[in-house]
Amino acid sequence: MAEAGKLDRVIVIKGPEESERLEVTGEDLMERVVSLAKRRGIIFQSSEIYGGLRSSWDYGHYGVLFKNNVKSQWWHSMVTVRDDIVGLDAAIIMSPKVWEASGHLESFTDPLVDCRECKQRFRADQIKDLSRCPSCGARGSLTEARQFNLMFKTYLGPVEDEASVAYLRPETAQGIFVDYELVMETTRKKPPFGIAQIGKAFRNEITPGNFTYRTREFEQMELEYFVKPEEASQWFDYWVEERLRWYKSLGIAEQHLRTRPHEQDELSHYSVATTDIEYLFPWGWGELEGIANRTDFDLKQHSKHSGRDLRYFDQERGEKYFLWVIEPSAGADRATLAFMIDAYREEKVRGERRVVLGLDKRLAPVKVAVLPLSKNPDLAPSAKEIAARLRPHMSTEYDETGSIGRRYRRQDEIGTPYCVTFDFDSLNDRAVTIRYRDSMAQERVPIEMLKARLEALLAGSDNGSELEEL
C-alpha cells in the first residue's frame, strides 16, 4: 500500500535557461499525463459517449502497441531468453472448487465501511481516523467494518442457481497451480523451474482510482517459480533483485523505485515473506509488483481438495515432497502507467512548448515515422514507398497532414524515437533525414542504407547527441 502524504518529488520542465524552469507538483503532472493519454488516443475512458464507467479504461491504437511492448519485454525476459521457465495461458473461468481450495472464497476480502451521511463507501484499512468520514467529515457516521469478498460472481449455463455459480478469476496464479503437474511432465522440467502467464484478472475493488492504477479489470504478468524447500530463500532474494533490475533496464529512474518488505501483520495467508517493488507515482509510493514466498501452501491445498497427489518425486533423494513457490506478480497496466509517467517531460524549444514521451525504444508504440516535407505530389509517393518498405521490419507510421513541425511534435508525444523526412533534396540525392526524438539532432542517410541504419539505431543506444540539432 502506498505511504500516505504528499509526493516528495517534483517534475522539472526544462527550458533553455535555469530561470525558465517550471516545477510541477505530482497532481499537476498526473493531469498532464492523463491529458496526453486521451489527446493521443493512448488510454481513455470506456463507454465515454454514455458518460463513462468508473475505473474502466480503453487502450487506443498507441496504447495497445505500448502495453503489448511492455508485456513482450516481460515475456522476453522471463521465458524467451531462459531455459528454466515455460509459458501457459489458463482459462479465466475455472471450477469454483479452485477458489475454495485456494482460500479466496473465505479470505479474499477487504473491510468495508459506509458513511450514513454522504452514502459513500470506503476501505476501512485505508482510513486513518474511523471516527469521521474522510469525504464529508461527519463524525460518528461510519458503519462498523464488514468483510467484502472481491471476487466477481457469475453463472454457467441458463439457470442462475447455486449449482451453476462460478467466478471470474481474481488472479492468474491458480491456473498455474492446477496445471503445474501436467506442464512439468510435458515440458520435462525439474526444479528449479517456472511457469509464466499473462492474462486478465478481475477484482471488485471497493475504491478503484488513480487512472489505470487500481481498476476492477486488469492484466497480470505472473511467474510461479517452483523450487526445493531449502532453496526458497535464496530464490526469493534472486527474484526481488531480478525484477527490480528489469524496470531499471527499461528506463525507470533508479530514484523512483524502491523495495518494501511486508511487515509480519500484512503478509497474505499463504506467504512467509513478501517484498513489493514500488514506484514513486505522482500521488506517492505505490506497488508495481509483489514478490512472494508462497511456501508449499497452494500445492498442498489443491492436493488436499482435489485428491491428486501433487508432490514432486525427487529421484536423487528417493522421496516425494511438495515444492515451494516464489511468485513475482506484476500488473501490466500499472507497469505501463509507470513507464509513461517516468518518460513524460516538457521542454521549451525556440520559445515553444514541446511535450516528449521519452520511452525506451523497446517500449515505444511506433519506432519510425516517415514524413514527407509537405503534401507536394512529388514527395508523397516516394515517402509512402519508403514507409511500405520499412513496415514489415519495424513499427512504422506514415503522416503527411499538417506542418512538418506539428507532425514532429505529434510523434514526440507518442514516443516515436525516429522520424524520417523525405524532402525536395531527396528527389536528387536519394537520401533522407533521420530526426532523433530526444536530442532533435539530424542525420542524412542514403535511402538504400536507411533500413540498416534504423535497425542499428533501434538495437543500440545512440540518441544522436553528437549530431547537429535540427
End-to-end CA distance of the chain: 45
- Output the DSSP codes for 199-219: EEEE---SS-BTTTTB-SEEE
Residue 109 pLDDT greater than 90, yes or no? no
Of 405 and 120, more confident: 405
Q: What residues form DSSP beta bridges with 211?
A: none
Question: What percentage of the chain has pLDDT greater than the value 90?
Answer: 72
Q: What value does the mean pLDDT take over residues 429-442?
A: 95
pLDDT band at 6 (very low <50, low <70, confident <90, very high): very low
Calculate the alpha carbon distances from 56 to 52, 204, 210, 212, 217 in Å.
8, 12, 11, 8, 7
pLDDT for 314 equals: 95
**What local confidence, expressed as pLDDT, does residue 353 receive?**
85
Q: Which residue has the higher pLDDT, 3 or 438?
A: 438
pLDDT of residue 224: 98
Question: Which residue type does 319 have?
Answer: E
Is residue 446 scored above 80 in pLDDT? yes
Report whether pLDDT(7) > 80: no
Q: Which domains does the chain have, with CATH numbers?
A: 11-96+170-339 (3.30.930.10), 366-459 (3.40.50.800)
pLDDT higher at 134 or 433: 433
Least trusted range by pLDDT, from 259-273, 372-386, 412-426: 259-273
DSSP state letters, 284-347: EEEEEEEEEEEETHHHHHHHHHH-----EEETTTTEEEPPEEEEEEEEHHHHHHHHHHHHEEEE
Position 388 pLDDT exceeds 70: yes
Say yes or no to pLDDT of 4 above 60: no
pLDDT of residue 316: 93
Residue 8 pLDDT grade (very low, low, confident, very high; cuts 50, 70, 90): very low
- The CA-atom distances, in angstroms, between 413 and each of 8, 295, 308 are 26, 45, 54
467 or 216: which leads in pLDDT: 216
Whole-angstrom distance, CA of residue 423 vs CA of residue 439: 21
Across the strands, what pairs with 396? 368
Condensed to tens digits (0 to 9), the pLDDT of residues 214-242 reads 999 999 999 999 999 999 999 999 999 99
Mean pLDDT in residue range 411-416? 97
Query: Which residues, at least 6 apart from 353, have a Cβ–Cβ distance to it below 8 Å?
Result: 346, 347
Mean pLDDT, all residues of the chain: 91
